[in-house]
Structure formats: structure tokens, C-alpha cells
Chain A
Amino acid sequence: MGFIPVEEITKKKAQFVRDPDAKLPENIREHVLQLEAEGEWVVHRIPEDHVEVPTKYGIPKKVPVQPTWHHKSCGQCGHIPGYSTSIFWVHRKLGLTYEDPRDQTSCTAWNYYASATSNAAAQAAVAVRNFAAAYESGNFPIIHCGTSYGHYKEVREELMLHPELRAEVRAIMAKLGKPLVMPEEIVHYSEWFWAMRNEIAKHQVRDFSNISATVHPACHYYKLVEQDAIYDPELYGGQRTAVVSGLAIALGAEVRDYSTFFDCCGFGFRHILVQRDFTRSFATLRKIQVMKDEADPDVTLTHDTGCVTTLDKSQFAAKAHGITASIPVMSDAQFAALAMGAHPYKVCQLHWHNADYRPLLEKMGIDWRQAWAEFEKDVKRLEDGEIEYLSWEDVDA
């Protein structure tokens, strides 16, 4: 080893062939419906109550308004619970029908990307099992996690391109007594928030006109199977994904630019657990510090669990290296819920976050000391056995 003879390289390149016709058509939805017509799978149709939105390649995408089935995110629910709670709270405030199912597993993509102890068939079967569960419920799936969303679109491509994979997954579904189901669209929750942004703004009770924000878009939202991510010609000239930014603008906030917008947060799946020096360095030096230097926002908004976790939790350790730049981090859902008057602790659950969000709350006109006292009062009721759980009624009391 050491040298690659030029003849070897040219010989091997000469054998290198690919069939361009095997590539997917740009209009995924048409292909999904065509496979249904061929009897390959059942398509879960978008409900009548939906909004059409623009995408990167200009093909309109249908985003369901209701009834929706919320494919939760393990990271959101596991350690940023206010993320999911805010999504549900906004639905309730808008009076929309939704289901928070128990018949759902994680997409399992974190394990797949981090450890590779899975394979294409297993990942496809998990996705389709969850799709089938939503189909059986009659409610359309909304995917909370950016990685689940991107991975499910990856799975959709693999199932489209490989009949043998469809056959394998169909056989597994038959054992489970379920059909092979593919949703007409794969929809991320932030697409729902973007589609509903004007409706949400109508219910806004807190003034955000003095709030500035930077946006970090999740890699797996717009880089992994990119064609049906939302891009709006009216926003960033259609050159950047419009979700999150469009919602913040609709709520009256000022969205500020910074030069590492397109960079990953540094999450890295296995890295955030066992190679945290990589994650911390990337998150603080390439994202938080740059945002602070170039935009100095009141908050940074994102739309994936991994990004909130990485950007939020990495800030503490960076102080040991003299990096004092700090920005509160939250999801677009928490931001929207706060705009609509949600309780910062009972609904948005900000006490699970690390970077100091209190100055932001003050700027939003929220007395966080009073809010925390209210939360603690309910904790006491729970400790005293007066209530078993905090209910939606308690939250809005």
C-alpha cells in the first residue's frame, strides 16, 4: 500500500456506471400515488382541512390542519418536555383536533445514525408501522423530530426505489396485521406552525416587536431529502428554508442574519454522548459565538430536539474556556406558545433549559418570578396529594 497506479484508477473509473433514470422524480407525491395505483401500498391522504405551501423545487406541499396524529420525539419528550407540551397547547388553544398516541415508537434513527446497529429493512419497517398506526387512527401524522422527519423521507425514497424492500416490509406488516402505509406527505411540526403562522398571530397576546431572534435550521429538516422542505420566495429570496423564520416574523420579532446559518449545530448523535468535546466546540464556536458577535439576538430559535439540546447545553462548559457568549435557546413551538400567552413553566417548561432565558422573558413582559411562584404552588398541591398530575385545566387556570 502507498501508491495507486494511475492505470488502476483510470481502469476502475472506466467501469464506474450509474443509471440516471433510476433517480427519483422531483414530484414525490405523484410517485407515492402512482405506487398506490399499482397496488404497492396504501396512501394515507391529507385531510380535507389543509393548507398548501411552497417547497424548494416549487411543487406545492399540503400541510394538514386537523385532525392530526402527533409522532412525538424521544429527545423532546425525554429532556425538553416543554417542546411537546407547547405543540399540544397551541393546538388546544386553536381548538383543533389532535391525538397524542401511545401506539408509537421513536423513529429509532438516532440509534441508526449513531451506532449503525440497524439496517434499511428494520428502519423502513419501524417507519411504516408508525405510519400504519396513524392510518388506523384516522388522524394524519405530524412528525415532531427533525431527524425522524428526514429519516422517514429517506425511508420513503428507499421504499420507492427498491421493490424488494417493499416486499420485505410488506411481509413484516402482514405478520403484524397491518397494511403497508405511506402518507401522502411527510410533514414536520414546524411546517404546521409555518402554515398556521397567521392564525397563531391572530391569537397573539404578547408583543414581540422588541424581540430579536436568530434561527438555526435543523440539518435533517432541509439537507436530508431536501426537495419538499418549505422555501418561500418571499423569505430570504427563496434561498433558505422559510420555517421558523417565517413564524418569528409573523409574530412581529426581528429575525437577524449571521454567517454560519447553514452550519450544523454539532449534535452528531453518538458524539453528544461520547465525544462531547466535538459537540461543545462546534456548537459554541461555530454557532453561538458567531450569532452573538454578528447578530446579538435575544433568543435563538430552532425546530429540532437535537439542536435545542446541543445549542443550549453546550454553553455551560464553554465558560471554562473563557467563552462567555450566551443566548437562550428554544423551539419555535415554545416561542409561539409564549406569544399566545402560555405559562413559561406550566406550558413551556423552561426550567428544563440551561442557558439563561430570564432576561428574554422580562423583555417579553413576563414576570418570571411570579410565574415560578405559581408553578411551585402547583408543585406543592401535587406533593400534598391534592392533585396527581398537572392537567390542561390547571395550566390554563
Chain B
Amino acid sequence: MPVETSALYKVQKGRYDDVSLEEKERLFAEVKADMRYEDYLYGCYECGICVAACPSARFYDFSPRRVAQALAREDVEQVYEQMNDDIWECSQCFSCLRCPRGNNPGGLITIMREVAINNSLGTAKEALEGYTRIIYKIMGTGTQVSPDMLQPEAFPDWGPEVVTVSKNLDLWRRMLPPETMHTTSTGWDVADKTITELYLIWHATGVLDMIRQVDSNLHMILEEMMEDKLEEAGYDT
């Protein structure tokens, strides 16, 4: 006797009926084509240990087991739903790697996220709203958590110490003995040559194209900044 999946899963039936099966199959094929896929999925005993260990499963209607199972069954409909509704809830802690079958649900989610980004899914764009500052920081500077991010308006729930740190930032950074750490807009002082080498890596591996899919303005800024630097350094992009 068939089981009503709507009773088991949060997704409303028919939610993605407007997306063709061919499109869903195309995206699933992209997930399967990733070289890491074969290393990350071996099957599922349905033991649930990944769910028991998963912080997101405690907080959201989320289950790493469902992800591994949907992929193993090649259930393209459910995989498509998960690529829209589930994957951004994973906190990438990899507690799920205790799987006795050797699955890596967190890694599978990484691949699904990359496919969602590469195909510019609306849900991926939504998930990254408010996050572009971090993307800009890491891609532009080579360090991703800078002292000047510690501003009270950004972290009002972190308490009064954030106000004090923010007020004294320049001074307190100079009160650090390591010479590399007197910076405020980067975590440490990164050599120009090192940053240029990082830019070359972003160019050569298609990461800039991924950025274009989620934020065209950010892409424009990064591309301009990087091309100038790379040209100056004599790299052919």
C-alpha cells in the first residue's frame, strides 16, 4: 500500500509541479556528476544515527537521513524539493559522518548547494541574502572575519562588550604583540602577492562565475578589482 509522503515530510504536495521533470532530472544529474558524489554516498541502513547527531535536526524539520535516502533512491522529485527547502538548514558540522555505512550527508549537501548556486535557484539566492559581505571579504582580502565586523549594530545580541571592542578597535589592535595582527579590515596582514595568487585561483577555477549566479553586483565589483590586480601582476586571465 502506498504511503502519503506529505504525512512524513514537510513539503506540500505539488509545490514544485510547475518545474518540469526534465529540469529536476538535469539538476540531479549535475549532483551525480560531481566527482565527490561516489565518495560520499554508499547507501542507508536507516539507523538514524546521523539524525540523532545533527544539530539542525533538533532545530528545524530537517534530516540528513532523508537527504541520503532520496539520493540513494534517485528520487528526483524529492531531491529537487530538498535542494530548495532543506539544504541551507544544514550547519555543515559533519556530525553525520558517524554514519556506519560511510555516507557523508553533509558532503552530499555541499554538492547540492553548489548545483543550486550554479543554476541560480531562487532559494539559494534567498539563503545567501545578508551573507554577501562575507563572500566579498574572503574573495577580496584572503581573510574572512575581520575585526571591523565587530560592530554593535551587527551584533546587538552579543552584549555590551561588542560596543567596547568597537569603540577601542584601532587602539586595541595595536595592543597585540604579533606584527601581522595590527590590521582592522582583515584578520591579519596578507601580502599583496598572496592576494593576487588567490585571485588567480578564483579565476582559474570558475568561482567568479558561481558568484555571478547569486549576485551580479558583487560579481561586477570582484571581477573589476581582481582583473586590475592580475593585470598588474602580469597574469593572463
A210 contacts the other chain (Cβ, under 8 Å)?
Answer: no
On chain B, the residues within 8 Å of A278 by CB distance are: 55-56, 59-60, 91
On chain A, the residues within 8 Å of B102 by CB distance are: 23
Q: How far is the CB of B156 from chain A (nearest CB, A)?
A: 9
Report yes or no: A77 in contact with B143, Cβ–Cβ below 8 A.
yes
Which parts of B98-155 form the interface with A (CB within 8 Å)? 98, 102, 110, 113-114, 116-117, 124, 127-131, 134-135, 138-139, 142-147, 149-150, 155
Report yes or no: B116 in contact with A78, Cβ–Cβ below 8 A.
no
Find the A residue at minimum CB distance from B192: A102
Report yes or no: A105 in contact with B190, Cβ–Cβ below 8 A.
yes
Which parts of B171-194 form the interface with A (CB within 8 Å)? 171-182, 187-191, 193-194
Q: How far is the CB of B203 from chain A (nearest CB, A)?
A: 10
Q: How many residues of A contact B (CB 8 A)?
A: 109
A354 contacts the other chain (Cβ, under 8 Å)?
Answer: yes
Contact (A105, B194) CB under 8 Å given A2-B5, A72-B188, A263-B55: yes
Contact (A267, B207) CB under 8 Å given A88-B178, A122-B202: no
Q: Mark A92-129, 1 if CB is under 8 A from B, else 0.
A: 00000000111111101011111111111110011001
Kindly specify which of A38-46, A156-164, A327-335, A362-370 makes contact with the partner chain: A156-164
Find the B residue at minimum CB distance from A89: B177
Q: How far is the CB of A234 from chain B (nearest CB, A)?
A: 23
A292 contacts the other chain (Cβ, under 8 Å)?
Answer: no
Q: Mark B31-68, 1 if CB is under 8 A from A, else 0.
A: 00011101101110000000001011011100000000
A223 contacts the other chain (Cβ, under 8 Å)?
Answer: yes
Contact (A354, B55) CB under 8 Å given A74-B144, A110-B134: no
On chain A, the residues within 8 Å of B225 by CB distance are: none
B20 contacts the other chain (Cβ, under 8 Å)?
Answer: no
Contact (A379, B194) CB under 8 Å given A79-B147, A176-B200: no
Report yes or no: B72 in contact with A2, Cβ–Cβ below 8 A.
no
Which parts of B200-232 form the interface with A (CB within 8 Å)? 200-202, 204-207, 210-211, 214
Find the B residue at minimum CB distance from A161: B39
On chain B, the residues within 8 Å of A390 by CB distance are: 174-177
On chain B, the residues within 8 Å of A1 by CB distance are: 5, 13-14, 16-17, 77
Find the A residue at minimum CB distance from B146: A78
Report yes or no: A116 in contact with B116, Cβ–Cβ below 8 A.
yes
Contact (A4, B75) CB under 8 Å given A224-B97, A268-B55: yes
Contact (A286, B55) CB under 8 Å given A74-B145, A117-B207: yes
Report yes or no: B93 in contact with A88, Cβ–Cβ below 8 A.
no
The CA-CA distance from A392 to B179 in the complex, in Å, is 10
Report yes or no: A223 in contact with B94, Cβ–Cβ below 8 A.
yes
The CA-CA distance from A9 to B178 in the complex, in Å, is 59
Report yes or no: B198 in contact with A270, Cβ–Cβ below 8 A.
no
A313 contacts the other chain (Cβ, under 8 Å)?
Answer: yes
Contact (A126, B180) CB under 8 Å given A111-B135, A111-B138, A270-B88: no
The CA-CA distance from A269 to B106 in the complex, in Å, is 13
Which parts of A131-174 form the interface with B (CB within 8 Å)? 133, 150, 157-158, 161-162, 164-165, 168, 172
Q: How far is the CB of A120 from chain B (nearest CB, A)?
A: 6
Q: Mark B1-44, 1 if CB is under 8 A from A, else 0.
A: 01111100000011011000000000000000011101101110
Q: What are 10 A-B contacts defined by CB distance under 8 Å?
A: A85-B176, A106-B138, A106-B144, A125-B204, A129-B197, A172-B201, A226-B97, A274-B131, A286-B58, A379-B171
